[in-house]
Every structure is written in structure tokens, then in C-alpha cells.
Amino acid sequence: MDFSDTPLSACSSTDAESSAPLLSTNTQANASVASASSRAGLGVIGTDSASATNSRQSSPTRSSSQPSINPSSYSPTSLPKSSSVAGPALPPRPLPPLPKSSSPTSSTTTTAASPTSPAIAPGDIIALGLQEADTSTEVYLAHDPATLSTFRDQVTSALGPDYTILSARQLVGLVLIVAVHERIRPAIRNVEWASVGCGVMGVLGNKGGVAVRFWVYDSRVCIVNAHLAADYAQLARRNSDFHEIRRRLWFRKEDGGVGAVDEPGTLVFWIGDMNYRLQGTQERVVQIINENRLDSLLVTDQLKQAMAKGDAFAGFQEPPITFPPTYKYDIGTTVWDTSEKRRTPAWCDRILWHLPATSPEAVQPNRYMGHFGYLDSDHRPVSASLSVQVAVIDPIQLDDVTRDILREHDKWENELIPEANVLPAIVDLGALRLLHECAGECVLENTGKIPFVWEFVARPDHVPASGGPTGLAPWCTPEPQRGVVEPGDKQRIVFVGYPTPAHTALLNRSESPSLRISLF
């Protein structure tokens, strides 16, 4: 979700091009994705933040030796596209109001520290992920639908009538809300959701993930909101949490089975409080931030290191980070943590994606930024505006390709039918005499493209007098009686007759001492 200061032309959508090939990637679905930690309500969407106000009243006063934010030297609109910021400071600067067509209703509540009406980029798909949205003890024992309902109502109010809530799901303090613009809603189908806890005892939902999966046109998209283990020393646990969520998040499949969150062909967005930290003391890291040397900090970022080593999030991508760390601040201020622990600043809140192998460039970032004007949490919200290419199947070309495939299939199927020729079709054994051997022969030729197996069997409409299996007269024996003929090859078959007195009656009924060979 992009709560940016200025409109982004890159967020405007385009229609599917009907002239695209069968599997088209020319349709741009602009997705705005946001992740934020909300311990006392999220001012971004105008939640009730009374508890945040109380926290601010009890916050320690700013120490003269504690580094703070310098509002005059930071301008989000002047950020370069490189991995460093234009200035080291972060102002609590309000954002402009929404356009009249999508302004929040009068029932939306805000706090003094939060902007009145955050500006939201006009994305086709907007995903909002919250962590610690409900920190009450009771939430671990019984789900309170009021929490999710409150956030859902506020998002609906902020986005206006042009957006529909596609899915709103909660797991303890994790909330994931996905909204879609009315222009793209008809292209979305098969909406599914799943959640998994990996907190206390590996099952409680204070840590874990909640996910929504759906089809946009002919591309499958999955959005995961996750909260991983905290504390600098818990790197291995964070990596384990990622793999556990990835392994245990299951969705239904079209064939009735279940599919993983990263099932082949799925475009995965992974957002949330990843909790990966930076190496160094608070004093040293803050000094580097104030010197505008973010590149040197990113080298020590645990998430970047885990991705490079393949320990977690292997194959995922992230836009260049050009904003200062979003954690940890004294609530209600722009001051880094002054508690006894004096936590080292870190980029805990991240937005990543994983692309199918068939679409290595399907996502292009337009903007990736922190929102430092929202002071209701010790985290600062993070957002990304992304242009996403999705596949669109052209029905006309699909019909043409289907017909071509059927024609090729018929041709292939016909080639698998054995083809044979027998010469001569009638074998003349000459004059038959009792107790005298007679002989004749024919040639069986394979005129097809595959080998075939042949043998003599009785005709379906004829049972030989002797009940013999070959279907020939009992006084006649073929040699060989069965075999295999390769394409282009021939098989010589010899018929030997030896009439005896026992065959006299049968011979007297025969019109001709000839054998007719039939193929079936």
C-alpha cells in the first residue's frame, strides 16, 4: 500500500491486450503492498490509538546525548534510486489528504501524531499486513472478531467505493487485508487463505504467518504476512520460522489435493515484520545512519546475508532500500530507543517477492519507502508500489492452438495404428491327396511406422471344425504362427498341409484347397 506524498503515474493500470500471444505477460496489474507493526493501532488507516497516546505520555524524555531525527534534512520526494538516502534524518511530516472520491468517512478516528488522511496510490491490488494488531492476553485463547472487523471497516472507508475487500484474515496479532479495484475484480477467482502459528511451543500465533492466494487473469498470486522471531541472537530461529511457515502453509489444489505456498508457477509476495537485525551497537549504527552510509549498514543486514547464503528466503527479491531503518523508536517520538536495552536500529519490516522461473522479470518496483510520520508504534510502516505482469490467455488464440494440437494428436494417433499387407491374400496349396504333403506361402509386410505383433487366431465369425486356435483347417499348419515385424520389414509364412483319412469328410465339404488370409 503506497501512502506516498505525490501521485505515482506508474500506479495507473492498463488493460489486457487482446493481441497478446497465448500466454501473454502484457497485462500490468499494479500492486501496492504495505507492512507495518501496530502495537497500539495503526495511524496509517486511522485506527483508534488511545493506548498509543498513553504510551507516549509515559515515554522517557529525549536525552541530550540520544541521536534524534532532523526533519530539515530529509525529503522523501528527493530520494535517489541508489541504495543510499539523500539525508540521514526522518521528519514526522504529514501526508496530503486523499482525493475527494476516496476520502475516509467521518467515523474514521485518528491520533494527533498521525496524518488525518493518508494518501493511497491507486493500485489495482492493495495488501495491508499488520503485526501485533491485538496484544491482549485473551487473544491467545479466543479469537476476537472485533479486531479484524475494525481494521476492515477502516480500510474500506479509507479506500472508498471503488475498492472491494477480497479477503481479510487474522491469526492472533497478525492481520492481512487484501483489497482490489472494481476494474480488476472480475479477473480474480479462486480466493483461498491459510494460516500457521510458529510461536510459543511452535504452534501459537504470536509468531507465524497468514496468507491469501488467488488467480489474477491466468497467474496465481500468493501474499503472505509473517511475523518472525525477535531479538538479534535469534537469527537461526527466524530462518527456521520462515521455513516452517513455508512448509506448513497449504492451500487447496484444483484437483482436490493441497498445494504449498510456493507451488510452481506462483508469484509470492512475502511481507511483514521479519525481525532481521543489524550488527553493531546502537551508537555506532545511528552514527552511520546520520552519515548517510546506508550501504555499509546493509552489508551487515541479517536478512540480506541469509538470502545470499541460502539459509532463508533463497530466490526472493527486494527493491533497493533507500530509507533509514524502521525500528526501534520511542513510541510517539522520532527518537531511537532510549530504554535500558537501547536496541540497535534495524530494517525489521520488509517486502519481498519470489517469481516463477517462467517469469523472471514479472515484478518491477516503482517505490519502496518507510513512512516516518506515523509515531504510534516503535516500528515505522513500510510500503512498496509494484508493477506486476500477469499472464492472460487469449481465447481466440487458445481455440486456434487447441485445434492445432488436436490435429497433431490425431496425426500422431493415426501413426500409432499398425499397417500391414499380405501378398498373396489367397494361398493356393495345389491338389490335395491323402497322406501327401502340400505347401504354400505368403509374405506379411509392415507398411506402417511402428512395429507390430502378429499371430494366427480364429476369425470372430468362424469356429474351426477341430476347435484349433489358429483358425486354419486342422490338416494345415502355418510356420511361424506368431512374430514381430519392424517397420519396413517382411515376414515369410509357410503353410504345410497333410490330409489324413480323418479329414476326408471335411475335405469333401471344401470348395477349394485354398487359404484366404484376413487381417483384423
Tell me the average pLDDT of the chain: 75
SS3 (DSSP) at 492: strand
Residue 500: all three cell numbers together = 489324413
pLDDT score, position 198: 87
Q: What number of H helices and E strands is found in the chain?
A: 8, 21
* pLDDT reading at 102 higher than 60: no
Q: How many CB atoms lie within 10 A of CB 25?
A: 18
Least confident of 201-205, 340-344, 469-473: 201-205
CATH dotted code for 125-388: 3.60.10.10
Are both 125-388 and 420-516 of the same fold?
no
Kindly list the distances between the CA atom of residue 383 and the CA atoms of 63, 120, 352, 363, 512, in Å, as whole numbers in the listed order: 30, 10, 11, 15, 94
Mean pLDDT over residues 468-485, rounded? Answer: 82
What digits encode the pLDDT tens for the residues 443-453? Answer: 999 999 999 99
In CATH, what number does 420-516 get? Answer: 2.60.40
What is the model's pTM? 0.63
Extents of the domains making up the chain:
125-388, 420-516
pLDDT in tens, 262-302: 888 999 999 999 999 999 999 999 999 999 999 999 999 99
User: Could you give the angle at the alpha carbon of 90 between the alpha carbons of 11 and 386, nearest 5°?
Assistant: 20
pLDDT of 138: 62
